[in-house]
């Protein structure tokens, strides 16, 4: 995994992929699957919708740190497996054969098998809507990975895989933020 | 365009597509392109990040209604065109040859050329983060449309097109909301 310029980190979340979120509760790492995410700023700032119904939320609330890890299509069954069991009674990382790697600025781990990882600190909780606002503080991309197609949850048990990429950089030049 | 069960409307936004947002300011329709969106609840509830830097925001703030219209890959140049000019000095719907269709419960129009449309009412403004919370009140899907591949903005001027769809309904059965 190579360091990625923070100015580019929002481009990992903007396409709307399924994301794994790692947390650490002081004793143990945990991981959850989430697709309710949103870019809020190029800084980068992100929103995720989660609450007490997720076991990971208590650790996020208390320690105010997480890692957003972006899986690719070859990890689909791990993604679904993580989403269908609870960290309350399972060591999900070990069960899904995902390898935690120490992060640089936060305690929750990066996930070695993922295409990209973003270390995040919580900057706000919007309790009335179960929104957690995160600021990315370090980012990484596995530039040697062959499989780079991300997954998009439909919400009905099916997942759309990234297809081809179309380039409109020239048309959009005036609107792009610096550094991307 | 056929009516779509509101219980399924969140599945249009959950995969993270580029969305067109129509508003009406009392005199004129406007439209903007947005990819900073998030599902917040199956009801459905959605968040979008927008603010005074978008011309459409004043109408959204005042009239508290909009339509989320979901374009497909054949509309890419319209999507980019909408995103690179301002409703302050352009009738963007006409310029992009998009056809407004009267909505049922809100004043902003549906977009005929889009795969799907969701009529929304604003339920909250989270001013400190420029988040607008929307509740979907009616939804439509063009079931006769051949091209159904949605677009995902990367944020660097490129767009990822939907590829194949993978089915994990059986593994996820216990976690799916009713009605999808």
Q: What confidence tier does A175 reach under pLDDT thresholds 50, 70, 90? A: confident
Whole-angstrom distance, CA of residue A133 vs CA of residue B24: 30
pLDDT over 70 percentage in chain B? 100
- B44 cis-preceded (ω within 30 degrees of 0): yes
Tell me the pLDDT of chain A averaged across its residues. 95
C-alpha to C-alpha distance for A123 and A46, rounded to whole angstroms: 10
Full DSSP string of A69-84: EE-BGGGHHHHHHHHT
Read off the pLDDT of residues B69-78 as tens digits, 9 standing for 90 and up: 999 999 999 9
Dig out the tokens for B136 from the structure. 């979907």
Q: Would you place residue B84 in the very low, low, confident or very high pLDDT band (cuts 50, 70, 90)?
A: confident
Q: Which letter, b or e, does each residue of B91-104 get, where b requires 16 or more Cβ atoms within 10 Å of its Cβ?
A: ebbeebebebeebe
| CA A90 vs CA A40, A50, A70, A96, A165: distances in Å | 33, 19, 21, 10, 38
Task: Name the residue of chain A whose CA is nearest to B148's CA.
Answer: A160
**CA closest to B163 among chain A residues:** A163
Residues 6+ apart with CB under 8 A from A180: A7, A8, A11, B155, B156, B157
Nearest-angstrom CA–CA distance, B45 and B137: 10
Angle subtended at Cα B157 by Cα A36 and Cα B139, rounded to the nearest 5 degrees: 40
Q: Does B83 touch chain A (CB under 8 A)?
A: yes
Searching chain A, which residue's CA lies closest to the CA of residue B149? A163
Interface of A with B in 37-56 (CB under 8 A): 37-41, 47-49
Tokens of B116: 């799907």
User: What is the band of B113 on the pLDDT scale with cuts at 50, 70, 90?
Assistant: very high
CB of B46 closer than 8 Å to CB of A49: no
Confidence category of residue A9, pLDDT binned at 50, 70, 90: very high
* Contact call for residues A5 and A141 (beta carbons, < 8 A): no
- Which of A50, A130, A168, A177 is the best substitution to test chain B (most B C-beta atoms within 10 A)? A168
Pairwise CA distance, residues B128 & B111, whole Å: 31
CB A56 within 8 A of CB A21: yes
Q: Are strands A65-70 and A116-126 parallel, antiparallel or unpaired?
A: antiparallel
pLDDT by residue (tens digit) across A85-108? Answer: 777 777 888 888 999 999 999 999
Peptide bond into A44 cis (omega under 30): yes
Residue B5: how many CB atoms within 10 A of its CB?
10
pTM of the prediction? 0.96
CA distances from A122 to A45, A119, B35, B132, B153 (A): 10, 10, 22, 20, 25
- Residue B67, pLDDT score: 98
* Cα three-residue angle A40-A11-B129, rounded to 5 degrees: 5
- B170 chain-A contacts, CB cut-off 8 A: 157
Sheet with B151-153: list strands edge to edge.
Answer: A151-153, A158-167, B158-167, B151-153
Q: Looking at the complex, does the CB of residue B4 fall below 8 Å from at least one CB of chain A?
A: no
CB neighbourhood size of B140 (10 A) = 23
């Amino acid at each position: 995994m190579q360091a990625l310029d923070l100015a580019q980190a929002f481009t990992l979340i903007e396409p709307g992929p399924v994301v794994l979120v790692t947390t650490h509760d002081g004793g143990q790492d945990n991981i959850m699957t989430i697709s309710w995410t949103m870019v809020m700023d190029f800084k980068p700032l992100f929103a995720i919708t989660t609450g007490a119904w997720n076991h990971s939320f208590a650790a996020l609330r208390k320690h105010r740190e997480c890692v957003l890890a972006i899986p690719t299509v070859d990890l689909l069954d791990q993604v679904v497996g993580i989403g269908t069991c609870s960290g309350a009674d399972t060591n999900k990382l070990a069960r899904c054969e995902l390898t935690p790697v120490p992060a640089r600025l936060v305690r929750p781990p990066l996930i070695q098998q993922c295409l990209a990882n973003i270390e995040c600190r919580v900057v706000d909780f919007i309790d009335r809507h179960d929104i957690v606002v995160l600021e990315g503080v370090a980012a990484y991309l596995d530039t040697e990975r062959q499989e780079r197609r991300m997954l998009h949850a439909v919400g009905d048990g099916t997942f759309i895989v990234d297809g081809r990429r179309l380039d409109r950089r020239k048309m959009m030049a005036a609107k792009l933020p610096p550094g991307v």
